[in-house]
Amino acid sequence: MHTTSPPSLESLYQLTDWELDQRIQAARNRLGEDLVILCHHYQREEVYKFADLTGDSLKLSRLASQRSQAKTIVFCGVHFMAEVADILSAPDQITLLPDLAAGCSMADMADLPQVVAAWKELGRVLPVETQVTPITYVNSTAELKAFCGQHQGTVCTSSNAGKILEWAFSQRPKVLFFPDQHLGRNSAKRMGIPLEEIVLYQPDLPLGGLTEAAIRKARVILWNGYCSVHQMFQPAHVELFRKRIPDVRIVVHPECSMEVCDLADDLGSTEQIQQVVRSAPPGSRFAIGTELNLVNRLKHEMPDRDIHFLCPTICMCSTMFRIDTQHLCWTLENLVQGQVVNRITVPKREAVLAKTALERMLQVC
Ligand code: 13P
Ligand code: SF4
């Protein structure tokens, strides 16, 4: 360690990459078993290389719930992921997010007052408590997970949305799915629900812009949210690759639009995308529709596969990118000095209800 008092974040921007790496490593060594660094696959390489454990949202949720011996979880990902870690980790563990501005624009597209208003509005058309299961994509605030916990609903991730929908239909005939319309539509369509029974609820419009008849007929009511990164992938990009590389395998994340997913060979979470590429024989050719950092890492790790980024422009998650080595170093060096910075604490009542919803998910898959 170079300092005896915690560094200012600004001062770390004066260091070289090599110096930052040395200091992060020194802080990790000092913290030893007390620290675990969890990293989402979209993290930039400079940060990802310091991960103790990596994963997609489901894997990271499970890891956080497995009561590691570490006193502190440093979560290199976005805010909702750190909230899940706080909810599922042991009561004596704490969770830190190196930059509190690392949010998720999709998660911001549905808030509790809006969802409560929608629930009430739907309740004027249907007996919601007996007819509708609320499902929130894990990319959402803890208070929406708590809402689902309270109303016999659950959470899903991009790797288990289909199974969670099946579970939901075994409970009640309809689902309210928020905030990602694409994951909801792609998953419902793949389980054979016709598009006429999938409707889009627009929270800014009276009755979500729907008629009472449409709500009564619907089996799946989707919230009008989306990921600004994944919506950049277009059907034309798939068609272009199919022309350029006839034996290409198109693999996309289910946050992409239905038009893109319908043209793809495989869709899956970030962990599942990696598995598809890893399990393919050398020489296989891929065009991948998900965040750029993950695709670049796969290219780098597997030079014997021909891996392309599906979009001709850069699709990066700017909020994931906020976690840089300076913030990681600052968080760790503060910890070494006994200072806790950027702790994520979900309020108790909310955490209990959100945990109910998350545990329902973990029991189903
Ligand atoms: P995964 O659960 O597939 O890692 O997805 C998280 C995410 O935010 C994708 O945009
Ligand atoms: Fe949120 Fe999209 Fe970033 Fe994933 S890629 S964290 S959904 S903004």
| Statement: residue 2 has pLDDT above 70 | no
Return all residues near 10 (Cβ < 8 A) that are at least 6 apart.
Answer: none
Q: Residue 337: inside a domain, yes or no? A: yes
Range of the domain at 271: 230-309
Residue 153 CA to residue 169 CA, distance in Å, equals: 11
Q: Residue 184 Cα, ligand 1 centroid: separation in angstroms?
A: 14
Q: Do 136 and 184 reside in the same domain of the chain?
A: yes
Place of tokens 């989402």: 40
Q: Residue 330 Cα, ligand 1 centroid: separation in angstroms?
A: 26
Closest C-alpha to ligand 2, atom 7: 227
Q: Residue 332: inside a domain, yes or no? A: yes
Q: Do 126 and 96 reside in the same domain of the chain?
A: no
Q: Residue 270 Cα, ligand 1 centroid: separation in angstroms?
A: 6
| Statement: residue 3 has pLDDT above 60 | no
Q: Do 84 and 36 reside in the same domain of the chain?
A: yes
How far separated are the first and last CA of the chain, in Å rounded?
Answer: 43
Give residue-wise pLDDT tens across range 271-287: 999 999 999 999 999 99
**pLDDT band, residue 67 (cuts 50/70/90):** low
* Percent of the chain predicted with pLDDT > 90: 95
The residue from 178, 193, 227 where one domain ends is 227
| Statement: residue 1 has pLDDT above 50 | no
Q: Do 196 and 246 reside in the same domain of the chain?
A: no
pLDDT at 64: 85
* Percent of the chain predicted with pLDDT > 70: 99
Q: Do 127 and 157 reside in the same domain of the chain?
A: yes
Ligand 1 within 6 A of CB of 255: yes
As a whole number, the mean pLDDT across the chain is 96
Q: Retrieve residue 118's tokens.
A: 């929608």
The residue from 203, 227, 251 where one domain ends is 227
Question: What is the position in ligand 1's atom list of the atom closest to the CA of 269?
Answer: 3
Question: What is the position in ligand 1's atom list of the atom closest to the CA of 55?
Answer: 4
The residue from 189, 209, 227 where one domain ends is 227
Q: Residue 248 Cα, ligand 1 centroid: separation in angstroms?
A: 23
| Statement: residue 69 has pLDDT above 50 | yes
Q: Number of structural domains, the chain?
A: 3
Mutate to test the pocket of ligand 2, among 78, 79, 81 (most ligand atoms within 8 A of CB): 78
Ligand 1 within 6 A of CB of 227: yes
Ligand 1 within 6 A of CB of 133: no
Q: Residue 42: inside a domain, yes or no? A: yes
Q: Do 34 and 94 reside in the same domain of the chain?
A: yes
Nearest Cα neighbor of 53 from 271, 254, 268 is: 271
CA 364 to chain centre: 18
Ligand 1 within 6 A of CB of 319: no
Q: Do 215 and 289 reside in the same domain of the chain?
A: no
- How many Cα neighbours within 13 Å face the side chain of 62? 15
Q: Residue 252 Cα, ligand 2 centroid: separation in angstroms?
A: 14
HEC secondary structure over the chain: CCCCCCCCHHHHCCCCHHHHHHHHHHHHHHHHHHEEEEEECCCCHHHHCCCCEEECHHHHHHHHHCCCCCCEEEEECCHHHHHHHHHHCCCCCEEECCCCCCCCCCHHHCCHHHHHHHHHHHHCCCCHHHHEEEEEECCCCHHHHHHHHHCCCEEECCCCHHHHHHHHHHHCCEEEEECEHHHHHHHHHHCCCCHHHEEEECCCCHHHHCCHHHHHHCCEEEECECCCCHHHCCHHHHHHHHHHCCCCEEEECCCCCHHHHHHCCEECCHHHHHHHHHCCCCCCEEEEECCHHHHHHHHHHCCCCEEEECCCCCCCCCCHHHCCHHHHHHHHHHHHCCCCCCECCCCHHHHHHHHHHHHHHHHHC
Task: List residues near ligand 2 (CB under 6 A).
Answer: 78, 104-106, 139, 227, 229, 255, 291, 317, 319-320
Q: Residue 167 Cα, ligand 2 centroid: separation in angstroms?
A: 25
Q: Do 51 and 136 reside in the same domain of the chain?
A: no
Residues in the chain: 365
Give residue-wise pLDDT tens across range 9-19: 999 999 999 99
| Statement: residue 65 has pLDDT above 90 | no
Residue 95: give its domain's CATH number. 3.40.50.10800
Q: Residue 85: inside a domain, yes or no? A: yes
Residue 76 CA to residue 166 CA, distance in Å, equals: 32
Ligand 1 within 6 A of CB of 56: yes
Closest C-alpha to ligand 2, atom 2: 227
